[in-house]
Structure 1
């Protein structure tokens, strides 16, 4: 085990034992180095890795925001990893489609009609109707809309996973638009499908909403020439 990894293992143990929690501050650099029997440089490197993973936030100066605080933002780490894998083609688009179907049909079936996240979803659809800024702007709002539906489930992990997929979804769907025969026709159909999905959720018809989401996702990829999604 590399010295900087000692910090991650130590923090995992402290969190698991309940001695530290989200919002807790880590000991000072010198104290951690002495406690873990590693150099201060290794402590610093380990802390930077944890910060990149969204586990801690390193503050500077003095006062309430000083010191390194445990924040736990799993979406940040997942987003970085997924974007790199998609960019390097190590993560096939077909696999992402299947993952989307798994997550998003469940989310549609379990989204709460009373969730504040659905207000954000509605606003995003209104923006899609009001702004004609091409595929890039449309698909960015599209990805945010799907994240909002996941957040409406109240399941923090599902929301984080969809949040981490957002960047990847927007990027590769943007690339796929080059294979579409008529973007205006496709975007019009997607707008109608979004509204129908949202209406089903607001009507507390989760089963119907899940079926609509499956048709919505598979339809786009089939039209753009991607194969490998469930049922194709």
Structure 2
């Protein structure tokens, strides 16, 4: 066989693939109402539908999509449950695109913790790395007004501790992370911090962590944050998060009394 032909012959003879090595997953059939959901989501993703926009009526959607009205109704209810739509009754009612919200993310994280899929260690590690990025960005971007607002929240932490009110302590803890995340000027960070923070704060909210130690740690953080010293601020906040986690582990089998 000529040299060139031999090379060509070698290159074109592919070895057969053992079918047992492949791992093809069966194709799942898509239910009609799910296809309707996808069409609506595509319109939102493309920007043709925006928060506050009203969808066509069920009849109009059914005609456009060539499906039954029951299918459209099921799709709309599913999107309402997902937090995408708001369904209202009455003459001026209908299906409206909702504003973005972190409530669904919060619920999903809470469910994962409740089901044991995510541990306190997992959440703490995620929270440390997330807040590390948040603090660094906030140190760079925070306005003087936001720094003053965060300092006021820290002072309210002491007031809540003095009032011995669990509800006030929880609110102050959530507000601290909300204002800190808002200072990044990044809505995605703000939503993620709110979702994870609310789950962790509620989870640790009845753990008896010494209020004075919490207040002092927050005060030390504010000294560094006001100086825009990101490294020192991150170190202080990380130490507090780890201390809260370790404290929760130590007293997890004891009666729970105070909020974090």
Query: Structure 2 length as normaliser, TM-score?
Result: 0.73
Contact 2:204 2:248 in 1 (8 A): no
Cα shift readout 1:76-108 (whole Å, capped 9, x = no counterpart): 210111111112222111111111011111111
Task: Find the aligned partners of 2:147 and 2:96 in 1 and give their Cα distance.
Answer: 31
Q: Please point out which of 108, 113, 126 is paired with 1:99.
A: 126
Partner in structure 2 of residue 70 of structure 1: 97
Q: Please point out which of 194, 207, 224 is paired with 2:218.
A: 194
Contact 1:113 1:201 in 2 (8 A): no
The alignment status of 1:156 with 2:187, answered yes or no, reads yes
Partner in structure 1 of residue 143 of structure 2: 114
**1:152 deviation in Å?**
1.3
Identify which range, 132-141 or 88-97, moves more after superposition: 132-141
Task: Find the aligned partners of 1:93 and 1:115 in 2 and give their Cα distance.
Answer: 34
Task: Find the aligned partners of 2:51 and 2:111 in 1 and give their Cα distance.
Answer: 27
The alignment status of 1:212 with 2:236, answered yes or no, reads yes
Contact 2:86 2:98 in 1 (8 A): yes
CA RMSD of aligned residues (A): 2.4
Partner in structure 1 of residue 159 of structure 2: 130
**1:39 deviation in Å?**
2.6
Partner in structure 1 of residue 67 of structure 2: 38
Identify which range, 193-202 or 157-166, moves more after superposition: 193-202
Task: Find the aligned partners of 1:2 and 1:117 in 2 and give their Cα distance.
Answer: 48
Query: Which of 1 and 2 has higher RCO (CA within 8 Å, sep 6+)?
Result: 1
Contact 1:197 1:209 in 2 (8 A): yes
Partner in structure 2 of residue 230 of structure 1: none
**1:114 deviation in Å?**
0.6
Q: Flag as ranges the 4+ runs of structure 1 deviating above 4 A.
A: 115-120
Ranges in structure 2 where 5+ consecutive residues have no aligned partner: 1-29, 251-260
Rg larger in structure: 2
Identify which range, 95-104 or 133-142, moves more after superposition: 133-142
Contact 1:113 1:203 in 2 (8 A): no
Contact 1:139 1:173 in 2 (8 A): no
